Amino acid sequence: MVAVGDVAQRAGVSTSTVSHVLNVTRFVSAELRARVQAAVEDLDYQPNAAARSLSLKRSNAISLNVADIRNPFFASVARGVEDVAQAHGYKLVLCNTDGDATREFVYLQALQTRQVDGALVASGGAADAYLARLIRAGLPVVLVDRDITDVADAPAIVLDKTAAGYEAVRYLLGHGHRRIAMLTGERIPPGSTTTERTAGYRRALAEIGFGVDERLVVAAAATVDGGRQAAHAALDVAPPPTAIFSDSSLMSIGVLESIAARGLRIPEEVEIVSADELPHAWADAFDPRLSTLAQPTYQLGCKAAEMLVNRLRSSSAPVARVVFQGAPLVRESLAPQPWHRSRGGGV
């Protein structure tokens, strides 16, 4: 079994430095921290969860690690998590990672060192190898709307994102569209959300015998500005798309701005579907209002928190993977009746 001393020897530092990095108890330079983290990964060092639980007191706190709390999707999930956590006497620690490997690593260390009792993780992918080690070591983790490839049986609450991409594109195909752009949130490495929704997009096109024009699959930051840039890139393709499927609500706002800047009419010239629902106050502020695949995000947060609490209360609680389905909300960004499309050479 790999010990702290082995990590110290591999990194060329003292055992106390390794301890400070792992326990976040003292400042350690970025260079030394990186060496320790690399050694932890190279040696597949895993903390002894059982021993730590005996020596460290409970914090009565759980963490929620998300990529970007500005995303309305995560804000709604967080509300569900917090309501359940408070009902069971737990404080919620919100950790915003921005998909940064160092931040993800540090926030996950809070679980390893028992600064929090358990963690709900919407992984950005940057620290998945370390996250997988924590799960295999038996630390209480529930994945939220993200899968990781290294642990097939990790407890998780997810949305059926492949079905969401498939249903959105099938709906647009039923309206006569053949030039459909897919705008995705850019993640390095690609997150399960991006991969699965894009898989649904490709499957829907393949079923009717259409190949994918890769120029219409555009990745950008999952932000308003990213959506604007991605929409401009897609609309610059010749022939241009007559419909757009957007991967996130924030990107969809940028898509609307891009289309308005070009003087195109929605839905007469371009129809739009967003994968995530906007908050009601936002949705009503846009003209036309955005059609979405509404996701039960609050319920997802509640269920994830309930699963984590059950694991904290009983080490024998069953490991489960719960899948939620979305539902279409058709508004003015989709035409009420399908018709044949000819603009842009679509057939």
Question: How many domains does the structure of the chain reveal?
Answer: 3
What is the side-by-side strand order in the sheet with 243-246?
217-220, 180-185, 243-246, 271-274, 291-294, 327-329
Does the residue 261 lie in any domain?
yes
Residue 341 and residue 255 in one domain: yes
Residue 209 and residue 340 in one domain: yes
pLDDT recorded at residue 185: 83
Does the residue 15 lie in any domain?
yes
Does the residue 186 lie in any domain?
yes
pLDDT recorded at residue 328: 77
Residue 320 and residue 337 in one domain: no
Q: Which helix (H) or strand (E) holds 218?
A: strand 217-220
Name the nearest CA neighbour of 85 among 312, 297, 268: 312
pLDDT recorded at residue 55: 47
Query: Are 269 and 258 in contact, with CB atoms under 8 Å apart?
Result: no
Does the residue 51 lie in any domain?
no
Per-position DSSP letters for 220-274, written without gaps between them = E-SSHHHHHHHHHHHHTSSSPPSEEEESSHHHHHHHHHHHHHTT--TTTT-EEEE
Residue 105 and residue 211 in one domain: no
How many angstroms separate the CA atoms of 301 and 77, rounded? 4
How many angstroms separate the CA atoms of 77 and 98, rounded? 17
Does the residue 50 lie in any domain?
no
Per-position DSSP letters for 74-141, written without gaps between them = HHHHHHHHHHHHHHTT-EEEEEE-TT-HHHHHHHHHHHHTTSSSEEEE---STTHHHHHHHHHTT--E
pLDDT recorded at residue 192: 62
Q: Domain of 312: which CATH number?
A: 3.40.50.2300
Residue 232 and residue 251 in one domain: yes
The amino acid sitting at 5 is G
What is the side-by-side strand order in the sheet with 141-144?
91-96, 61-66, 118-121, 141-144, 156-159, 321-324
pLDDT recorded at residue 204: 94
How many angstroms separate the CA atoms of 121 and 103, rounded? 13
Per-position DSSP letters for 10-22, written without gaps between them = HHTS-HHHHHHHH
Residue 133 and residue 188 in one domain: no
Which whole-number Å values give the CA distances from 175 to 144, 235, 276, 298, 327, in the listed order? Answer: 33, 19, 21, 31, 18
Residue 276 and residue 314 in one domain: no
Q: Which residue range(s) make up the domain with 27?
A: 1-45
Residue 259 and residue 307 in one domain: no
How many angstroms separate the CA atoms of 23 and 303, rounded? 30
Q: How many residues does the chain have?
A: 347
Query: Are 283 and 290 in contact, with CB atoms under 8 Å apart?
Result: yes
Residue 39 and residue 62 in one domain: no
With a cut of 70, which residues of the chain have pLDDT below it? Answer: 1, 23-26, 46-57, 152, 186-193, 278-284, 337-347
pLDDT recorded at residue 282: 67
Residue 20 and residue 119 in one domain: no
How many angstroms separate the CA atoms of 26 and 22, rounded? 10
Residue 22 and residue 132 in one domain: no
How many angstroms separate the CA atoms of 343 and 347, rounded? 9
Q: Domain of 29: which CATH number?
A: 1.10.260.40
Does the residue 171 lie in any domain?
yes
pLDDT recorded at residue 48: 57
Residue 223 and residue 283 in one domain: yes
pLDDT recorded at residue 233: 97
Distance of CA 251 to the CA centre of its chain: 14
